[in-house]
Amino acid sequence: MSRLEICFNELKAKGQKALVPFVTAGDPSGSFTLSCMHAMVKAGANVIELGVPFSDPMADGQVIQRASERALDAGMTLVGVLNIVKSFRKTDQKTPIVLMGYLNPIEFMGYEAFASEAEIAGVDGVLTVDIPPEESKELTQAYKAHGIAPIFLLSPTSTVERIKKVANVAEGYIYYVSLKGVTGSANLELSEINEKVSIIKQHTNIPVAIGFGVKTADIASDIAKIGDAVVVGSALINCITDHDGTSKAEQAVFDLLNSMRLAMDANATK
């Protein structure tokens, strides 16, 4: 069984939902990211999403765009992200790691080379924002051959036909984008999210994670009632930038995540 499957099974047995933090690797430095990953696990994170910085992040809002720019300016690359994962795995073999980014850096490395390197580094899943299932056959085959889960997005505009297409190829979990817009956008409509996630659940057995717009412990708790996992990204990056990537930043990330963890677990015991 894969790390992702074990993780979700264990949570299910405990009646808990997964807390999935996202940070951009290398913002503001690779060493900060590595240290922050361990802190996030201590705060109660179950899966870590690492953003691979790219110059043209079309689906991201201001916060993650700027994080990408800072990481690239600091010299972060796809190889650098894999090295962070390798270092993380020296002391943590349990927490699943998912890389999230855009296709071009992977195209340049080559699908097979990337999948193979990612497997060696200890990556569990890859979500490539700008490759829908229609274009992903070759890439998905490379991932599956190396035990890496291809993770796909679904959105409020996805029709049942599209949900089926994604359910056919996705492994690990499906990432439901909770709103029309880019990462870090405005308000969430819980009833709409609930309705759509119920439809998705009719077509897949793998977990459904929900993200885009999760900013506070209260929202995390509400979202955890609907999905199997809650993804939080821009709010964490704001913690990092507010404290210029210092040890205070790590503490701020820890505090926000930990408050989400507690709020989500309060659901489970209610």
Partner 1 sequence: MNDSEKQAAIEDYNLPDDTGHFGPYGGVFVAESLMESIEELNNAYKKYMQDPLFLKELDADLQNYVGRPSPVYHAERLSVENGGAQIYLKREDLNHTGAHKINNTIGQALLAKRMGKTRIIAETGAGQHGVATATVAARLGLECVVYMGAEDIQRQAPNVYRMKLLGAEVVSVTSGSQTLKDALNEAMRDWVTNIDTTYYIIGTVAGPHPYPAMVRDFQTIIGREGRQQMLDKTGHLPDALVACVGGGSNAIGLFYPFIGDKSVDIYGVEAAGLGIETGQHSAPLAAGRPGVLHGNRTYIMADDNGSIIETHSISAGLDYPGVGPEHSWLKDIGRANYVGIKDDEALDAFHTLTMVEGIIPALESSHAVAYALKLAKTMDKDQTILVNLSGRGDKDIFTIAKLEGIEL
Catalytic residues: 49, 60
Interacting residue with partner 1 among 44, 51, 61, 150 (CB under 8 A): 61
Q: Select 10 or 189, whichever has its Cβ closest to partner 1.
A: 189
- Tell me the DSSP string of the chain: --HHHHHHHHHHHHT--EEEEEEETTSS-HHHHHHHHHHHHHHT-SSEEEE---S--TT--HHHHHHHHHHHHTT--HHHHHHHHHHHHHH-SSS-EEEEE-HHHHHHH-HHHHHHHHHHHT--EEEETT--GGG-HHHHHHHHHTT-EEEEEE-TT--HHHHHHHHHH--S-EEEE-SSSSTT-S---HHHHHHHHHHHHHH--S-EEEESS--SHHHHHHHHTTSSEEEE-HHHHHHHHHTTTSHHHHHHHHHHHHHHHHHHHHHHH-
CB of 180 to partner 1, least distance (A): 6
Q: Select 93 or 187, whichever has its Cβ closest to partner 1.
A: 187
Could you tell me which stretch among 4-12, 31-39, 61-69, 143-151 binds partner 1 (CB under 8 A)?
61-69
Q: Select 134 or 244, whichever has its Cβ closest to partner 1.
A: 134
Name residues whose C-beta falls within 8 Å of residue 137's C-beta, 6 or more positions apart in sequence. Answer: none
Could you tell me which stretch among 28-36, 58-66, 117-125, 195-203 binds partner 1 (CB under 8 A)?
58-66
Q: Select 79 or 120, whichever has its Cβ closest to partner 1.
A: 79
Could you tell me which stretch among 53-61, 83-91, 227-235, 261-269 binds partner 1 (CB under 8 A)?
53-61
Q: How far apart are CA 262 and CA 270, in angstroms?
A: 12
Under the binding rule (CB under 8 A), the answer on residue 266 touching partner 1 is: no
Could you tell me which stretch among 19-27, 64-72, 83-91, 218-226 binds partner 1 (CB under 8 A)?
64-72
In this structure, the chain runs to a length of: 270
Neighbours of 164 (CB within 10 A): 14
Residues 103-132 that bind partner 1 (CB under 8 A): 103-109, 129-132
Residues 139-158 that bind partner 1 (CB under 8 A): 152-158
Q: Select 95 or 136, whichever has its Cβ closest to partner 1.
A: 136
Residues 187-246 that bind partner 1 (CB under 8 A): none
Contact string (CB under 8 A) for partner 1, positions 152-191, x = contact: xxxxxxxx--x---x----------x--xxx--x------
Positions touching partner 1 (CB under 8 A) are 53-59, 61-62, 65-66, 69, 72, 77-79, 102-109, 129-132, 134-135, 152-159, 162, 166, 177, 180-182, 185
